[in-house]
């Protein structure tokens, strides 16, 4: 029994150390239209939210996500890095950082445990905001890019103007209490803000410029990796 405990401790330390050396951040080029799925927000483990891990870990579901340029998605693309997290009550979070957790959950793939860079970039836990079901499923909205959507002067007719609804910094397909309408574009199944060029204002007569994105919208969204 004593020997097995020693072996287990050595194995646990090795599993924690092994992924870190190989987990340098790599820029992955993903073509516009690639089905990464919506970006998934991952927070740090919080006992007050997820329960004490010694007693509650069986309620959590181990899930593999894929890191693409510092953001996490459910679908894999070439060059993406697999990271194992937990899902519980519709939220995704990194595992506990206690040394005793290493090797404790036999369902968890410790070879894919998060690296320090994952833990440092994760958002701290914050109480979730209640979102009305009438909003529908959250939409991923990114910034306009010539490389992805084409030069707007020649390609804008291929884009479809769409009104989405911003609530608490996130975007939804349907209106609801407290939501703000924002006009954006859809192209090849993805949603993005219009160009920021001054010449674009009034150029597309199909677009509702009264509901054009605000500065907050432009600062909030990120570029597609």
Q: What is the DSSP string of 94-118?
A: PPP--GGGTTT-TTS-GGG---HHH
**Mean per-residue pLDDT for 125-135?**
77
The length of the chain in residues reads 225
Q: What is the pLDDT of residues 158-185, one digit of tens each?
A: 999 999 999 988 899 999 989 999 999 9
Q: Which of 2-11, 38-47, 110-119 has the highest mean pLDDT?
A: 110-119
| Cα 137 from chain centroid (whole Å) | 14
Query: Which residues face 81 on adjacent strands?
Result: 67
Q: How confident is the model at residue 26 (pLDDT cuts 50, 70, 90)?
A: very low
pTM for the complete prediction?
Answer: 0.50
What are φ and ψ of residue 105, in 5° steps? -95, 105
Q: Is the dihedral of CA 143, 167, 219, 70 positive or negative?
A: negative
pLDDT at 7 over 70: no
Q: What is the pLDDT of residues 29-65, one digit of tens each?
A: 555 455 677 788 898 999 988 999 999 999 999 999 9
Strand pairing report for 61-68 and 42-43: unpaired
Q: What is the pLDDT of residues 68-103, one digit of tens each?
A: 988 899 988 888 999 999 999 888 999 999 999 999
Between 38 and 196, the higher pLDDT residue: 196
CA neighbor of 124 nearest in space, from 46, 72, 48, 67 = 46
pLDDT of residue 23: 43
Radius of gyration, CA atoms only, the chain: 21
pLDDT of residue 20: 40
pLDDT of residue 48: 87
pLDDT of residue 13: 42
CA neighbor of 170 nearest in space, from 136, 196, 194 = 136
Q: How far apart are the first and last CA of the chain?
A: 49
């Amino acid at each position: 029994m004593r020997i097995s405990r020693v072996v287990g401790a050595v194995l646990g330390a090795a599993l924690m150390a092994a992924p870190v050396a190989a987990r340098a951040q790599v820029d992955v080029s993903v073509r516009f239209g690639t089905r990464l799925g919506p970006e998934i927000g991952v927070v740090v483990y919080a006992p007050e939210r997820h329960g004490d891990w010694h007693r509650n870990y069986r309620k959590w579901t181990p899930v593999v996500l894929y890191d693409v340029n510092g953001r996490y998605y459910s679908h894999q693309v070439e060059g993406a890095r697999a990271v194992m997290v937990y899902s519980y009550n519709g939220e995704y979070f990194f595992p506990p950082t206690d040394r005793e957790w290493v090797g404790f959950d036999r369902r968890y793939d410790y070879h894919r445990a998060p690296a320090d860079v994952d833990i440092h970039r994760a958002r701290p836990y914050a109480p979730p905001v209640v979102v009305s079901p009438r909003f529908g499923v959250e939409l991923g909205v990114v910034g306009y890019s010539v490389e992805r959507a084409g030069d707007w002067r020649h390609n804008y007719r291929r884009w479809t103007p769409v009104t989405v609804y911003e609530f608490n910094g996130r975007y939804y397909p349907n209106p609801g209490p407290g939501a703000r309408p924002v006009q954006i574009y859809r192209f090849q199944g993805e949603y993005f803000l219009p160009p920021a060029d001054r010449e674009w204002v009034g150029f597309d007569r199909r677009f509702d410029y009264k509901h054009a994105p605000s500065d907050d919208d432009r600062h909030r969204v990120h570029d597609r990796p």
